[in-house]
Each structure stands twice: as C-alpha cells, then as structure tokens.
Structure 1
Amino acid sequence: MYYLGLARGYRALDLARWLLTAGAAAVVAAFLLRALGRALAEPTGGPDRLLWCLPPLAAVAWFAAVAARAVPAQHPERITGLAAAGVGPGRIRLLIAGEIALACALGSGLTLLLFLVLRNDIAGPSLAADIGMGVPLPVAAPVTLLAVPTLVAGVAAACAVRFPDTLPGRPAEPARPRWSARRLALPAPLLLAGIGLELYGLRPGATDAERTLDLPGGLPATSPALLAGWTLAALALALWTGPLLALAGRLTVIRRPSPLRLLAGRALTAQAPRLGTPLAVLTGVSALLLVAGREWSRHDTDVPALLLVEGLLILACAVAALAARLLELRGDRRDTLAVLDRLGTPAGLLTGTLALRALAAGTVLLVTGGLTLALCPLR
C-alpha cells in the first residue's frame, strides 16, 4: 500500500526515474535470459556468457545507488512525514531500496514474460539458439537469474542512502575534508605506473608476439602490460576528476572575483566531492566507447549487436546517474537559492553562474577524457 501511495503521488521526474530503472533492469534480464538460452542450446561456454552480463549489471547497480541517494533531497516532505510517524532510519532506507527493487522486479518480470512467449513456437530460426528453443526450461533457472538484478539494485540502493540525508533534525553530516595539494598528488603514482607499463609495452624491442591478450568484439589483440598500464592511468585520471573540479572552482574566485565568479566558484568547490565520481564514471565509459568505435571504424569491423546494446545501456546508466546526482545537488541548494531569490538576485546572474560552472567542469572533463584517449594502447 505504501508503494501504491507513492505511485499516485509520482511527478514527472519520479516517473522517469522509475521507468529508467525498470527499463535498465529489463535489458539486463534479457542478457541473463539470453545467456540461459544459449547455455541450454550449447552447454559449452556458459560462464563466459554470464561474465558478459556483469558490466551492465554493475551499471544498473550504480544508477540504482545514485537514484536512491537522490530521493531524500527530491522529497524532503516524504522523509519528514515518515520520521514524524516514528519510522526509524533503517526502515526508511529499506523503503527507498524497496521502491528501486520493485521497479527492477517489474522490468525483469516483463522480460521473462516476453521470453516465455517467444519460446512458445513464436520466435524465428534466428532467435532459436538465443532462447533455447526445443530444450526443456528448468523452472528455477530463470527465476534465480532474474532475482539477481533486483537484489543487486536493492542492496546498492540501501547502501547508498545515508542516515543524515534521510532523517530531518539529525546532526548535519560532518564537513568533508577540503581538497588540497596532497589530495591532488595521491593519484600521481598510479598515473606514473600506468605510463611506465605502457612505455614498457611499446618499447622498440617489443614484438607483435607479446600481444597475446585477445579483446572481444573484433578489437585488435594487445599485450597485458599495455592494457594494465592504460587501466591504471585511466583510474588515476578518474580519481583526479573531483580534486580538479575543486581546483577549478578555486581558480574561478581568485583576484577579486565578481558576484558571478564568486557564486560559481564557491558552488563548484562545494559540489566537487559529490560531483566528481559520476562525472569520472561518465568520462571513463565515454572514453571506452570512443576507443572501441575508433578501432571498429579503422579496421572496418562489423559492430557486434550485443556489445553495442551493452555499451549503450552502460552509457545510459552513467548519464542517468549523473542527472540524478545533479538533481540531488539542486535539492540541497534549495534553501540557498530561496535566500538569493528573497535578496532580489537577478535571474541572469544565476543562469550565468550555472553556465560558468558547466564551462569549468567541461574543461576538466576535456582534460581527463582527452588524456585517457591519448594514453589508449590500441593503435
């Protein structure tokens, strides 16, 4: 009954979040059921097919976590009412996680229904191997597989919600440590190690015989040293995203800033710790897709349909997670914006502040994303 009441009070953003969660879970469920159908038709290679389902499953869990954390900021009145009714923090966390898990369960259920309908002698020969046509289907297998996205998304959502964010009147969350030169220097060893591994893999004495690591999707083979080096370098650049955002905010307010620069710089510095992670994830996913697209176009390789759908799903989850985090930050700044409005702040000033923050953040992402692409070992 609680979730029915929530559905009656859904706004456009709530409905979009619910539909995105259900749709992403439905696609992951389709991947899992395809792996099951392939395993029934061709028993060999089952674990490899399930491993292909892990990246989109992780993307759905990431989006579920960010979306669940944004719920208290978007609906403070709901959390206030639950707290006034005597609902504790643990149950509030479970209620938010249950809303996410319910959306995933409904999306997975629709996929299972479509899977069973196709197995009823409706699918053509092209889909026969993907759905295991003609092979008896164990009842427990699809139920177990489809419980995985629901449980993973629910657990991720429950772990993401913080008690101070959910319960009004609790002490404020302690301030996060300020970004300093020390925090900027921490990822440097990872970057140096990654560049060192890449230089070792690209040394003049290296031969094509060392490229023993076959990549999926028709991508060229590479050596373990090159791939490990690029991974370390990309991780270091991702860790630098938050500190660089804070540094960009500080640089915006130097030397007698105008009100526009002051508001933009202070806001960007304050939001950098929470905005850095989703931006880093989106930048990393975009870099991977651009690298794969460049190699496919260079070698004139047909793009595998399954790999393309997985990449688009991961990218969509990364974009949706960033949008959810932006909505969360906007909800946290609701009181500040109300004060500025009462002071008579021009609307153009707030719009210019938003544009300046977007420009500074975009510059940081161009730097980190461009370096990630430049260090790619695929040539």
Structure 2
Amino acid sequence: MFYLRLARGYRVPDLGRWLLTALASAVVAAFLLRSLGRALSDQPGGADPLVRLLWCLPPLAAVAWFAAVAARAVPARRPERIAGLTAAGAGSARIRTLIAGEIALACTLGSVLTLLAFLVLRNDIAGPSLAPDLGMGVPLPTVAPVALLALVPLTAGIAAACAVPVAGTMPGGRPTTRTGFGPFRIALPIGLAVVGLALELLALRPGAAADGRPVHLPAGLGSTSVAAFGGWAASALGLALLTGPLLSWTGRVLALGRPTPLRLLAGRGLTAQARRLGTPLAVLTLVVAVVLTTIRYWIGTPDSADVLPAVEACLVLGCTAAAVAARLAEVRTDRRDVTDALLRLGASPRLLVGAVALRTLAVGTTLLVTGGATAALAAAGLR
C-alpha cells in the first residue's frame, strides 16, 4: 500500500526512472530465460550452459549499477519525501529499505512480464526459429525460472540499499565529500596505464613470437595474445581510474592565473564535481570505446557480427547512460543552493550558462582523450 501511495506522487523523472528500471530488468530476465531454454533444448554434451549464464552477468551488473545510482539520487532529488518519512518515525535503515524495495518492485514487475511472455510463447505460438531459445517440447521445471528471475530484483535491491548514503537520508543533511585525490589514487592508475601500454606494445612489436595459448574473444572478435589482452585490460582500467583525477586537474587548469568569472566558475565547479562524476563518466567512456571498437571490427570482418552481444551492448550502454544522467541530476540538485546564491549576488544567467557550457566542453575533451586511447589500444590488439 505504501508503494501505491508513493506512485501517486511520482513526477515525470521518477516515473521515467521506474519504467527504465523495469524495462532493463525485463531484458535481463529475457537473457536468463533464453539461457534456460537453450539448456533444456541442447543435447547432453553440447554447449556449456554456464557460458550462457556468464553472458548474462554484464547486463545484470549494468542494471544493478543503474539501480544503485538511481537510489543514491532519490534523497537529493526528493528531500520532501525523505523529510516526511523521517517525521513519521522512519530511521535511516528503514528509508534504505523503502528505497531498495521500490527498486526491487520495479525489477520484479519487469521480470514477471518477461516470464509471462516466455510462457505464452512456449504455448506453441513461437516459430521454429525461437523454439530452441524457449526450450519448446521439453517440460519446464517450476523452480528454475523463478530462481533465475529472482536474481534480478535481489541484486538490484541489494545494490540500491548499499548505495543510499546515511547522511543524505536526513532532512537537510548532506554527505561530506572530498574534492581531491590522494597520491595512491593517482599513482595506481598511472602505473596501470603505463604497464599495460608497455605490455601491449611488447606483444604487438614486429617479429614477436606467436602466443601458444591465444585468448579467444567473444562476440566474434577472433583471438589475440595473452600479453596483448592483459595489456589492454590494464591500460583500460588505468585510464578509467584516471578519469576522475584528470577532470579535477582540468578544472584547476581552467582556474589558473587570474581567471575571468566564467573560467573561475567553470573550473571550481568541475574540481568540486570531479570525484562524483569520475566513476560514471569513466564507465560510460569505457563502454562506448569497447562498442565502437567492436563495430569497427565487425565492419572490417564480414560475417563476424553476432546479434546477442549487440543487444547486450545496447542494454549496458543504455543503463550506463541512464546512470550518468541520474548522477548529473543529483549533482545539479546539490548545486541548486550555490546557483541561487550566485543569482542573488548579481550573477547573470548568461554567465552561469556559459560556465556550464565551458565545463561541459572541458569534460568532453578529457573523455575524448581517455576514450580515444582506450579504443585505439583495443583496435591495435584486434589486428
């Protein structure tokens, strides 16, 4: 009953977040049920069902991450809801449970709709092309689909409960966040990027010995050497971890010397937001780089494309973009007091819009450098 009353007060962003969560969970549930149907249809000794289940982990992780980011943004974007719950006697643990339950309810709805579609298609409606994916002609165990589909709301609910900050659940409370990065936080990604680059260059040098144990890549991407794959993975991880510090340094560069009010607002704002925006933007950049590299390889190698990895890539990319949008909305809400104070002090709206545009340009340039380097190293390893 509480969630029905809560849904009556939904605004457009709340409803969109709820529907996106349900849609993403429905797609993940379809992947899980497809792996179950394939396992029922295959003959003994065929393809490993565990491999198909492992293919479902990336979209499941993407949905859980989106659920965590969306749940974290709820206290900042709906403080009146949190204030009302606190006034009614709900503590931080209860508020965490309520937000996680809302996310899990959306995931449950999407999973149930997918299960209903799966059962309807199994009733001699699907054509021969879908019969192996649905396991038609084989009795369906009752526990198997329920156990698989329970993973989606359970994972998303746990991720959402762990992501809600305790300080942000109190009325008017703001979690204290640091704006800088420690020496270890900077030295680790630089070391990973340098070591990975050296390892990949060593594996791709002319006349390098052939690897006796090549790594067979999924999604029809052929195979590569262990050294090249390990070097790219280390470099990609290092560049992703370095995104936050690079954004902070870019903000400091914008405010160097005697900056104009435009550069000062853009630089200080970017430095303050770098720690919170670094992780979602790094994940989005990494996913986009991998997707573009895969598309480039498929175009250059005819008949190598696969439908299932393409659908999973679209889901992961959509969840990542939605998570970035939720984090941007959270940051905008937190800076609303600062924006109102600047307007009261006489700052023109054009100045604030220009600072946002300059900050966006600086962020885009930084992500273009890190994403371009990641995509270039991946393309070099696939040759």
TM-score, scaled relative to structure 1: 0.96
Q: Which residue of 1 aligns with 2:193?
A: 191
Conservation of the 8 A alpha-carbon contact between 1:73 and 1:331: yes
Cα deviation, residue 180, structure 1: 6.0
Amino acid at match of 1:32: L
Partner of 2:369: 367
**Cα contact 1:211–1:222 (8 A) shared by 2:** no
Q: Which amino acid aligns with 1:38?
A: R
Cα separation, partners in 2 of 1:373 and 1:117, compared to 1, 3 Å:
same
Aligned residues of 1:241 and 1:276 also touching (Cα < 8 A): yes
The Cα RMSD (Å) is: 1.5
Deviation at 1:205, TM superposition (A): 3.6
Q: How does 1:127-142 map to 2 (within 5 A)?
A: 127-142=130-145
* Further displaced range: 315-324 or 206-215: 206-215
- 2:273 match: 271
- Structure 1 residue corresponding to 2:244, chosen from 239, 242, 257: 242
Aligned equivalents of 2:367, 2:156: Cα separation in 1: 28
2 CA distance for matches of 1:177 and 1:302? 45
Match of 1:41 in 2: 41
In structure 2, stretches of 5+ residues that fail to align are none
Structure 1 position 262, deviation (Å):
1.1
Residue of 62, 75, 81 corresponding to 1:59: 62
Distance 1:131 1:267 in 2: 52
Query: How many Å separate the matches in 2 of 1:194 and 1:242?
Result: 19
Contact 2:203 2:227 in 1 (8 A): yes
CA contact (8 A) 2:251 2:267 kept: yes
Measured after TM superposition, the shift of residue 181 of structure 1 is 6.3
8 Å CA contact 1:61, 1:153 repeated in 2: yes
CA distance in 1, matches of 2:40, 2:87: 53
The answer on whether the counterparts of 1:194 and 1:232 sit within 8 Å (CA) in structure 2 is yes
> Could you tell me how far 1:348 is from its partner in structure 2?
0.9
Matched, 1:32 2:20: no
**1:276-331 deviation per Cα after TM superposition (whole angstroms, max 9, x unaligned):** 00000000000110111111111123421111100000000010000000001011
Equivalent residue in structure 1 for 2:204, among 202, 214, 219: 202
Q: TM-score, normalised by structure 2?
A: 0.95
How far apart in 2 are the matches of 1:370 and 1:220? Answer: 22
- d(CA) in 1 for partners of 2:41 and 2:102? 36
Q: Give, in whole Å, the separation in 1 of the partners of 2:186 and 2:211.
A: 38
- Aligned residue number for residue 231 of structure 2: 229
- Number of residue pairs matched? 378
Identity value in percent: 63
Q: Does 1:101 align with 2:104?
A: yes
Identify unmatched segments of 5+ residues in structure 1: none
Partner Cα separation in structure 1 for residue 128 and residue 104 of structure 2:
34
Q: Write the deviation string for residues 329-369 of structure 1: whole angstroms up to 9, x where unpaired.
A: 01111211222232332211111111011001001101111
Q: Quote the Cα distance in structure 2 between the aligned partners of 1:218 and 1:244.
A: 34
C-alpha deviations, 1:229-255, integer Å up to 9, x for none?
100000000011000101111111111
Matches within 5 A, 1:134-153: 134-153=137-156
After TM superposition, list the pairs within 5 Å mapping 1:229-308 onto structure 2: 229-308=231-310
Structure 2 partner of 1:85: 88
